[in-house]
Structure 1
């Protein structure tokens, strides 16, 4: 399943980049537009790679801590990091009562795990360990970078559409007395492309969450503890929403606002029920292996 999710993620990121390149071409009707789209994709990916940790931490006002400030939390992260065979990440606390957590960073050597004050108050040690192991799996799988790149490319699709449309409407008239590029291309960029980019970004996010849950179960060997944590986070999170830039919602371990029908396509996370069901199945598999 892990390899399948990796292939799916790579394919979805390729679709996002291709949307930028094709959108630029359709909007201008020439190779220059395609090069503009390619340039946006490259610049966005590099910017996300280099600044992903700083931007996400700043968005939620996460404060770095050392062991003296929160020894139990710091030691728990250190123990799980050792089990996951990762370098020790920065440990941060977000000053909010909303129970949530996230990981960020361009690679395992430049990573951070952030938990809110609220999550430490409602979860027991085993449940918090499951959440932290989930975030460490994101770091190990480089999901933090993947989400940052996906978010940047998605935003670039929208921005490029607006920029090229403005230029097409108010730019110089072409030799055949037509302004701008292909009107169908402009329509795709202005209306269809941003929606498609958002759908792709959300699909990437949902795929990575399932993989991170499985990774957490392997690290802690307690999948039911994470299942219990997810249920608590969804229940309490509905009452105390998380404030921050919506662009970084895919980084959070859970988005408590459920959606059904067509709206489910725009979910940043899989349904909690589906995640809990997967974790229960993993617990059953562990029991069967232990009994053989």
Structure 2
């Protein structure tokens, strides 16, 4: 419940920032209305397209049960245990070890794993990973993360518009603007939006870990899997669009546990996730 409230508060802050910068850039009630409309349009786009885009970015291919019987068995078993429709199963043609789930709701969901993860994880650890991804589906985290990403992108776009207006003269209303306020908006609004977006992603990872532990009854297996995946990421990172990194179970490039690295990371420090699981 704590993570759910934190996510709601962060999304509300992010949407408020979008509306505020729209009011500042475009001005008056019209700017406020356009800001709300922009938030609605970007959220609607995320709702319908996030699954297709993510699968295409990582070149994921659908596979049937005859090709990967062990993987399908685990997905079916855990989906039935969670009382959700069995998601479609995809394979990412990469020897990097990683996985992700996508889709706007449990009825339109997919689980994708790399070839590499199947090669390095024993069955109980693979179950923990799949349970983590199914929890993302149950919690509709892929939609939450897509909404956060598109709203943050809209904020950056509006800040860029304001920057261009400063360079190329702008409108007569520019004279009424506080230059210091304009500078702060251009410089810090996109950074603030990115930090909030990434904080949402980190919160959802902790929730998915806890949900996986409950679904399998074996938090230690997921903890072991995360450590193994972290080590693998140091040796062989996963290439892809950085915008979709929040979907992955582990950050595609292993990072140190320093504060700034964590602040601008889509994932919590693996050590923190492991400790949280072991406490369960």
Deviations 1:148-192 (A, max 9, x none): 1111111111112112432455466427xx558553443233210
Matches within 5 A, 1:49-198: 49-167=47-165, 169-170=167-168, 173-174=171-172, 178=174, 181-198=177-194
**Structure 2 residue corresponding to 1:199, chosen from 195, 202, 219:** 195
- Count of residue correspondences: 278
- TM-score, normalised to structure 2, is 0.94
Corresponding residue SS for 2:94: coil
Gaps of 5+ in 1: 283-292
8 Å CA contact retained: 1:130, 1:229: yes
Aligned match of 1:19: 17
8 Å CA contact retained: 1:171, 1:179: no
- 1-structure distance, mates of 2:180, 2:40: 25
Cα 1:180–1:139 change in 2 (3 A) is farther
Aligned match of 2:237: 241
- Cα displacement (A) at 1:39: 1.9
Aligned match of 2:262: 264
- 1-structure distance, mates of 2:179, 2:167: 10
8 Å CA contact retained: 2:19, 2:36: yes
- 2-structure distance, mates of 1:229, 1:117: 15
**Structure 2 residue corresponding to 1:209, chosen from 205, 208, 216:** 205
Gaps of 5+ in 2: none
8 Å CA contact retained: 1:168, 1:180: no
Aligned match of 1:47: 45
- Which 4+ stretches in 1 moved above 6 angstroms? none
Aligned match of 2:246: 250
